[in-house]
């Protein structure tokens, strides 16, 4: 196989693994949402139980109040006053009855609110269940795409002979080195001297300790990682939890100029923010590259940089 043919294979593999990476981000996002919705459903279920208990209690109290009024309310107040042997005692009693009536009205209002709350809790729980099902479907779709793309890449690689695989590996290294050299020559790091914070040092130490561990899509450690699983766990270990996916890390974390980045910052790659790595200084990163690879050190400019985000800004 000629170098031109091998270069075409390399380009095809990059595309397949990139698509798998995009699908992995979608899977991880759906997984995070499913966890959140499951927790909310549990809390809503607790509110529904408490709401039903409160409603039952209020109904008992309202029933007791109604029975009390029925026993004393059969004759009009004017007639009861005329027939009373003790008008003053009747008037005193009437005052208590009016208080009781006001209390009953308050009880009915509270009962109505409890019924409305219970109805809303039930509606919210139903909506969360529907969204949970949508996210389960999204996860299934993403999983199918991930496995399909990885299987296609593995099949393509399996068709290569041993020497061709070795040449392909060299082509990949040369392409990464060429991109890194061009990035450094552009002056991207000129004047850069950012120092890691204590949290940044802890995050880098965590990432460094994972070197050599296998990439696995959807994994957050401790034995395997995908790209954002590594960065999110590294910063969680440093005491600064961040979003799970590379796309959400790009959306939610503060952006900083490349020239101002410091160890611990995260570099987001590709226009769709589908890959993330941790900057460790001196133009280098630690990242979980793709299926079939392990957590490794690479040049920060070896892939197209979208931007830099700072978890501990």
Could you list the active site residues? 227, 275, 287
| Residue 309, H or E segment | strand 305-309
- Give me the half-sphere count of Cα atoms (radius 13 Å) on the Cβ side of residue 297: 8
Contacts from 152-155 at CB under 8 Å and sequence distance 24+? Answer: 152/16, 153/13, 153/16, 153/17, 153/20, 153/291, 154/291, 154/292
Name the residue with tokens 């440093």.
238
**Distance (Å) of CA 266 to CA 90, 201, 263:** 81, 13, 9
Query: In terms of Cα–Cα distance, which of 3, 291, 6 is closest to 149?
Result: 291
Name the residue with tokens 């939610």.
252
Query: In terms of Cα–Cα distance, which of 278, 268, 273, 195 is closest to 237?
Result: 278
**Where do the H-state alpha helices sit in the chain?**
3-72, 77-83, 87-158, 162-185, 198-209, 227-237, 246-252
Is residue 217 within 8 A of residue 291, CB to CB? The reply is yes
Is residue 188 within 8 A of residue 256, CB to CB? The reply is no
Is residue 244 within 8 A of residue 28, CB to CB? The reply is yes
Name the residue with tokens 């995260």.
266
How far apart are the C-alpha atoms of 23 and 290, rounded to whole Å? Answer: 12
Query: In terms of Cα–Cα distance, which of 245, 243, 276, 283 is closest to 262?
Result: 283
């Amino acid at each position: 196989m000629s170098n031109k043919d091998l270069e075409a294979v390399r380009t095809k593999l990059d595309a397949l693994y990139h698509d798998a990476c995009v699908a992995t981000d979608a899977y991880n996002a759906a997984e995070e949402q499913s966890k959140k919705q499951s927790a909310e459903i549990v809390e809503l279920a607790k509110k529904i139980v408490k709401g039903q208990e409160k409603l039952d209690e209020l109904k008992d109290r309202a029933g007791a109040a109604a029975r009390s009024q029925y026993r004393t309310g059969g004759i009009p107040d004017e007639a009861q006053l005329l027939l009373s042997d003790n008008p003053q005692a009747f008037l005193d009693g009437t005052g208590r009855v009016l208080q009781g009536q006001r209390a009953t009205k308050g009880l009915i209002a509270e009962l109505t609110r409890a019924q409305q709350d219970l109805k809303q809790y039930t509606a919210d729980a139903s909506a969360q269940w529907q969204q949970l099902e949508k996210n389960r479907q999204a996860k299934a779709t993403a999983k199918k795409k991930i496995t399909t793309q990885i299987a296609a890449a593995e099949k393509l690689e399996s068709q290569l002979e041993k020497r061709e695989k070795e040449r392909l590996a060299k082509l990949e290294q040369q392409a990464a080195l060429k991109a890194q050299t061009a990035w450094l020559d552009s002056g991207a790091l000129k004047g850069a001297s950012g120092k890691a914070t204590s949290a940044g040092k802890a995050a880098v130490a965590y990432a460094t300790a994972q070197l050599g561990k296998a990439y696995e899509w959807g994994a957050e450690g401790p034995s395997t990682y995908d790209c954002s699983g590594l960065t999110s766990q590294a910063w969680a270990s440093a005491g600064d939890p961040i979003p799970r996916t590379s796309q959400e890390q790009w959306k939610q974390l503060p952006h900083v100029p490349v020239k101002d980045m410091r160890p611990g910052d995260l570099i987001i790659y590709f226009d769709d923010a589908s890959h993330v790595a941790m900057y460790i200084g001196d133009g280098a990163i630690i990242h979980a590259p793709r299926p079939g690879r392990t957590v490794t050190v690479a040049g920060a400019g070896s892939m197209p940089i979208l931007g830099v985000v700072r978890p501990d800004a």
